[in-house]
Structure 1
Amino acid sequence: MKILITGGNNAKALKLMKAFPSHFVLLADYGDVPGIITENYAFSSLGLLNKDSIAHILLNFCITEAIDCIIPLHHYELEPLAKSAVLFGEYGIQVLLPNADVIADYLAEEKVTYQNFAVFIHGDQIFSTDGSLMPTNVSSELNGVFGYNNSDGLKLFTI
């Protein structure tokens, strides 16, 4: 499986690679990106940032690069991609975000630093940084990478 993680120039994207040790990860960002290619990961540029056409830019990139799954980390990418998830799905690309109608519940109002993060695919937790299992009241439809602290609820892991 080939996974695209946006915000590839950020340390959070590098931390997220631990969740996918058996997949090829493409770390991409807007503007200048280091040209590094290894057996398990690579860096790539998404071109110039144009917030008005984020979904189009990312869909085109995913099709060109044969991406199977996209994990957006930039806050401004979340809602456009959640709303476009069905279109991405028609091309066989999974958008790892909650559904557009509930995504607002998982957005942090202010910038928060989380001690841990967990990855959910269709409600199943596939990874957490501290090895703990999250509560069982997670929806079976939940997708995404979520930051959490000891007492806080799940919020999308963004930069």
Structure 2
Amino acid sequence: MKILITAASTATAYKLEKELAGSGSLILADSVDLPSVLIKDKRFIKIPPANSTSFSHQLLTLCLDEGIERVFPLRRSEIEALSESRQLFDEYGIVVMVPISPNLSSYWGNSKTGEILIKEDDDEFAGRGVYLIEEGSLDNLQILTAD
């Protein structure tokens, strides 16, 4: 399985990469240029900025062209944009790891520490996505973001 992780210029992307090791072929992406020293021995793809009006469609095209099956967006603007177009990606068999749009506001937070929880499915507990949990408590879930 090919997996795309965004925000490759941040430590959060590498933290998630470590968490997903062995899950498939990992590809890092960002809308900013990265020095070659950061991407040595890694696959890197440049993506459009999330504030682009066609961000979701350009990312979908990229995923289809590259055979990417799972997307882990890590910038808040990417998460918001892809949450709104998650169904479109689902129709093409590409799983975007974000909760559906109406549920986003309840998961924003400021913490940068905690255990990573990857939820594969939507349920009454939380939508699919990548979350931070504090000390194993599921009471205070927040979406993992790089910003």
TM-score class normalised by the smaller sequence: 0.7 to 0.9
Contact 1:2 1:66 in 2 (8 A): yes
Unpaired stretches in structure 1, ≥5 consecutive residues: 125-136
Distance in 2 between the 1:122 and 1:50 partners?
24
Bigger mean CA deviation after superposition, 70-79 or 97-106: 97-106
Amino acid at match of 2:16: L
1:68-90 CA distances to partner (integer Å, 9 max, x unpaired)?
Answer: 00010000111211110111111
Question: Over the residues paired in the alignment, what is the CA RMSD in angstroms?
Answer: 2.2
1:112 alignment counterpart: 111
Contact 2:99 2:122 in 1 (8 A): no
Contact 1:74 1:158 in 2 (8 A): yes
State the TM-score, normalized to the length of structure 1.
0.77
Amino acid at match of 2:108: L
In structure 2, relative to structure 1, the CA distance for the partners of 1:9 and 1:149 (3 Å cut) is same
1:84 alignment counterpart: 85
In structure 2, relative to structure 1, the CA distance for the partners of 1:117 and 1:32 (3 Å cut) is same
Contact 2:50 2:81 in 1 (8 A): no
Contact 1:33 1:45 in 2 (8 A): no
- Give the total of aligned pairs: 140
Unpaired stretches in structure 2, ≥5 consecutive residues: none
Amino acid at match of 2:130: V
1:53 alignment counterpart: 54
How far the C-alpha of 1:34 sits from its partner, in A, is 4.4
Distance in 2 between the 1:112 and 1:6 partners?
19
SS in 1 for 2:61: helix
Contact 2:129 2:143 in 1 (8 A): yes
Contact 2:3 2:27 in 1 (8 A): yes
Identity %: 34
